[in-house]
Amino acid sequence: MGTLFKNGTVVTASDMVQADVLVEGEKVVLIGQNLPTQGHEVINCEGKYLMPGGIDVHTHLDLPFGGTFSNDDFDVGHKAAAFGGTTMHIDFVNQPRGGSLHDGLVTWREKAKPSQIDYGFHMIISDLRDDVMDEIPSLLDEGITTVKLFMAYKGVFQIDDNTLYKAMQVAAKHGMIVMVHAENGDVEAQLRSQLLAEGKTDPIYHYSSRPPEIEGEATNRAVVLAGLTGCHLYVVHVTCIPAIDALRRGRQLGYPVMGETCVQYFHVTRDHHLGAPGFEGAKYVCSPPVRNEEHHQALWQAFKDDTLQAISTDHCDFWYEGGVGPWQQWEKDHKGGQWAEYEKQDPTYRRPGKELGKGNFAKIPNGMPGIEDRMMVMWELGVNSGKFSPSRFVELMSTNPAKIFGCYPQKGTIAPATDADIVVWDPNAKHTISASTHHMRCDYNVYEGMQVTGVPQQVYLRGKRIVDGNIWLGKNGEGKYVRRIPNAPVL
């Protein structure tokens, strides 16, 4: 007895065909026409698209950051993701300063225990000592193919080019991918300290400290080093023309370089959002910063000519004001999830949020919510506008992520023997995005008020329905760790 998805349109990265899909256990087993219904739970998918579950390859759940933690964790964040049609994400593990990579992994495995959807790990290297350089290849044994290095955050994560080069050589040798946060941290540090010294402390100066030029510069540098070492490079959160141009040049030279952008970089602007009056802009502080319209256009173009390969979220949300009131009330009213022990034990405790950066933009916790919105917003902006076909949408949201990060074809498509992560997508249903209805533990939504046409109606994780409209059917611990495989293709 299986689940039979009847009469939907199966959408893969290349195909859209009317077909029935039979799932048995955790896997897709049959795709065909007029499959017999007896013995199966039948889901009527007439007028619906069946798409592989979204894969968000860039998230920071439960992340310690500047004296607080990002709000969403492997419980609440997972639910929110699934409500948005995402059934897998790859979260960034932080190597603890002074510790090993595996030390970080231990911590993240603990965080991940209540998981409700599938997940993988990237490894952030914060302290690239020689012994850590040697440790890198052992990540493959843990199913991790990706290390992330920072060209920014001087004095914290930032590495020099010599280290980056050597890490790339190691990665190249082992079929691993180097991910970089590409901004010139030296210049950023200088701009930041000068701005603060001049009393320029509002959120908008976050932008001034991280202009497109320094993202473009660092991207170019990483691309050149990847070309020299033959290392597969994946530039995270590309936001702007100079960075896109740098990647494009690299790809035209045949370098094995790839990149992603995040949903917000298509929509949120410096002028209207980050530059909003008062402290409002703090909601939109992330790094690199959001850019204006001309850069949004360049991003669309970058997908037209395959300069970029994927769209993620960099999901990392903090309270804007919510953290000021007792969390317990929010909790009761809303959404559950894990909390730190001290939070549980002290009902008066207020978890800090964006307000940490009042009077100093550099202390605003970086990041914003998005894991739930990604699929709907990109469908609205991309598919409904005619820029992406549904197949292209699937490719960017699910298939390319799975291929690049070494979990294809287990994930990323609908085909026999693949994991039955299936989204029943209603292309005609309408929804208004709002913090008042979203499932993320965040008191604002970046796309507040956006009307979208096209929403996930039901979501299946390895054959099990976990979302049905507004109802949550999943269970803690049912999300599984996805081991990933090296030598993935460069797309």
| 18 is a contact residue toward a copy of itself (CB under 8 A) | yes
| 162 is a contact residue toward a copy of itself (CB under 8 A) | yes
Q: Which two tokens stand for residue 481?
A: 């760790």
Q: How far is the CB of 474 from a copy of itself (least distance, A)?
A: 26
Q: Which of residues 377-396 bind a copy of itself (CB under 8 A)?
A: 389, 391, 395
Which of 181, 210, 251, 354 is close enough to bind a copy of itself by CB under 8 A? 251
For a copy of itself, the closer CB: 33 or 348: 33
For a copy of itself, the closer CB: 373 or 395: 395
Element holding 235 (H helix, E strand):
strand 232-235
For a copy of itself, the closer CB: 166 or 267: 166
Q: How far is the CB of 144 from a copy of itself (least distance, A)?
A: 24
| 131 is a contact residue toward a copy of itself (CB under 8 A) | no
Q: How far is the CB of 197 from a copy of itself (least distance, A)?
A: 13
| 15 is a contact residue toward a copy of itself (CB under 8 A) | yes
Q: How far is the CB of 417 from a copy of itself (least distance, A)?
A: 5
Which of 25, 36, 47, 489 is close enough to bind a copy of itself by CB under 8 A? 489
Q: Which two tokens stand for residue 379?
A: 């469908």
Which of 4, 19, 231, 433 is close enough to bind a copy of itself by CB under 8 A? 19
3-state class (DSSP) for residue 269: coil
| 16 is a contact residue toward a copy of itself (CB under 8 A) | yes
| 128 is a contact residue toward a copy of itself (CB under 8 A) | no
Per CB under 8 A, which region of 8-16, 61-69, 77-85, 426-434 contacts a copy of itself? 8-16
Per CB under 8 A, which region of 67-75, 157-165, 260-268, 367-375 contacts a copy of itself? 157-165
Give the Cα separation of 22 and 32 in Å (integer). Answer: 8
Phi-psi sector, 337: left (phi>0), alpha (psi -120 to 50), beta: left
Q: Which two tokens stand for residue 476?
A: 């803690």
| 184 is a contact residue toward a copy of itself (CB under 8 A) | yes
Residues 6+ apart with CB under 8 A from 355: 279, 282, 319, 320, 321, 323, 324
| 417 is a contact residue toward a copy of itself (CB under 8 A) | yes
Which of 25, 416, 469, 477 is close enough to bind a copy of itself by CB under 8 A? 416
Q: Kindly tell me the burial class for residue 154, based on how many C-beta atoms sit within 10 Å of its own C-beta (0-12, 13-18, 19 or more).
A: middle
Residues 6+ apart with CB under 8 A from 459: 53, 82, 83, 85, 87, 422, 423, 424, 465, 466, 467
Beta bridge partner(s), residue 27: 24, 419
For a copy of itself, the closer CB: 416 or 469: 416
Give the Cα separation of 423 and 84 in Å (integer). Answer: 9
| 468 is a contact residue toward a copy of itself (CB under 8 A) | no
Q: Are 224 and 250 in contact (CB under 8 A)?
A: yes
| 17 is a contact residue toward a copy of itself (CB under 8 A) | yes
| 22 is a contact residue toward a copy of itself (CB under 8 A) | yes
Q: How far is the CB of 87 from a copy of itself (least distance, A)?
A: 18
**CA geometry: angle at 463 spanning 396 and 78, to 5°?**
60
Q: Which of residues 271-330 bind a copy of itself (CB under 8 A)?
A: 301, 304-307
Q: Are 401 and 102 in contact (CB under 8 A)?
A: no
Q: How far is the CB of 228 from a copy of itself (least distance, A)?
A: 6
Cis amide linkage into residue 409, ω under 30° from 0 = yes
Quick one: CA dihedral 245, 249, 251, 256, positive or negative? negative
Residue type, 381: L
| 200 is a contact residue toward a copy of itself (CB under 8 A) | no
Q: Are 146 and 405 in contact (CB under 8 A)?
A: yes
Residue 333's Cα: distance from chain center in Å?
A: 27
Residue with token string 């595996």: 102
Give the Cα separation of 158 and 185 in Å (integer). Answer: 7
DSSP annotation of 162 reads H
Instruction: Count residues binding a copy of itself (CB under 8 A).
Output: 63
Q: Which of residues 49-88 bind a copy of itself (CB under 8 A)?
A: none
Per CB under 8 A, which region of 55-63, 100-108, 180-188, 441-449 contacts a copy of itself? 180-188
Q: How far is the CB of 377 from a copy of itself (least distance, A)?
A: 22
Per CB under 8 A, which region of 113-121, 247-255, 269-277, 442-450 contacts a copy of itself? 247-255
Q: How far is the CB of 101 from a copy of itself (least distance, A)?
A: 22
Which of 53, 54, 203, 227 is close enough to bind a copy of itself by CB under 8 A? 227
Give the Cα separation of 286 and 314 in Å (integer). Answer: 9
Question: Treating both helix axes as pointing N-terminal to C-terminal, what angle do 241-252 and 212-229 enclose, rounded to 10 degrees?
Answer: 20
Give the Cα separation of 476 and 431 in Å (integer). Answer: 27
- List of residues contacting a copy of itself (CB under 8 A): 10, 12-20, 22, 27, 29-35, 154, 160-162, 164-166, 184, 186-187, 189-190, 211, 213-214, 216-217, 220-221, 224-225, 227-228, 242, 248, 251-252, 254, 301, 304-307, 389, 391, 395, 399, 409, 413, 415-418, 489
